[in-house]
Structure formats: C-alpha cells, structure tokens
Amino acid sequence: MGAKWAAIPALLLASMLALPGTGALADPATDAFAAADRNGDGMVDRGEFHERMTEVFFFADQDRDGALTVEELTGVDRDAFSAADSDNNGTLSLHEFTRARAADFDSADTNRDGLLKPDEALR
C-alpha cells in the first residue's frame, strides 16, 4: 500500500507541505520535516508522524465529512487511493489514510529504528 503512494517522498507528501502555518522556506520538504518533528530533536518518531498525518487528513477533508475522496488528495493516483480504500466505498476514513501513511513511514525507515531522520525522509 505505502509503496504505491511513494510517487512522492515517503514521509513528506505534497499534502503535508500544504498545511497552513508551516511557513514558506526555500526547501518545502525541509519545512515539512520540521513541522512533523514536534519535539525538535531532528527526528520524526511514529507518534509525531501519526499526529502530522492526522492533521493532513483533516486539512485535506475540504467538505468536512470525515472522509477523503481522491479529488481531495491532490497528487495521489487512483490506484494508490483504491489500494488504501480497504472497504471499497470510494473514500478514505482517517483509519485507512493513516494506515496507508504508516506503510510509507515503514518504507522510509531504512535502518528500522522507528525514527525518521532527514536523510531517510528527504530522499
């Protein structure tokens, strides 16, 4: 599931970058990593990642119905969306979305220590 979302770097989705209040740096991927790194330790753990993906979900949910459509997720192809839609209802619940994003975390965590460092997340 996560690998299909990887048309965009694993951790730092375009939607993650689009959240208001993250600032506009010359390197938006670095900005997104900093926004996900809640405690400022230079790494993103699973909890920080989950919090950020939850924010992304609610920001992307433009009609505020508690589910995401493929149209609300800019830059995600339909096959990847369908793979994440485990109940095949044409939308992603928060659970389906965060589960797909967690697979991306796992893919990016190349040394399997449960933490993403910039060199893992910004590749």
Predicted model pTM: 0.76
Domain assignments of the chain as residue spans, ordered by start: 2-17+25-121
Assess whether pLDDT exceeds 90 at residue 94. yes
* CA-CA-CA-CA torsion sign (100, 58, 81, 8): negative
pLDDT at 74: 77
- Name the CATH topology of 2-17+25-121: Recoverin; domain 1 (1.10.238)
* Beta-carbon contacts of residue 41 (< 8 Å; ≥ 6 apart): none
Give which of 35, 71, 40 is closest to 53, Cα–Cα. Answer: 35
Using one digit for the tens of pLDDT, what is the confidence trace for 6-28? Answer: 443 333 344 443 444 444 445 66
Using one digit for the tens of pLDDT, what is the confidence trace for 32-79? Answer: 888 888 999 999 999 999 998 899 899 889 999 999 999 998 778 888
Assess whether pLDDT exceeds 90 at residue 87. yes
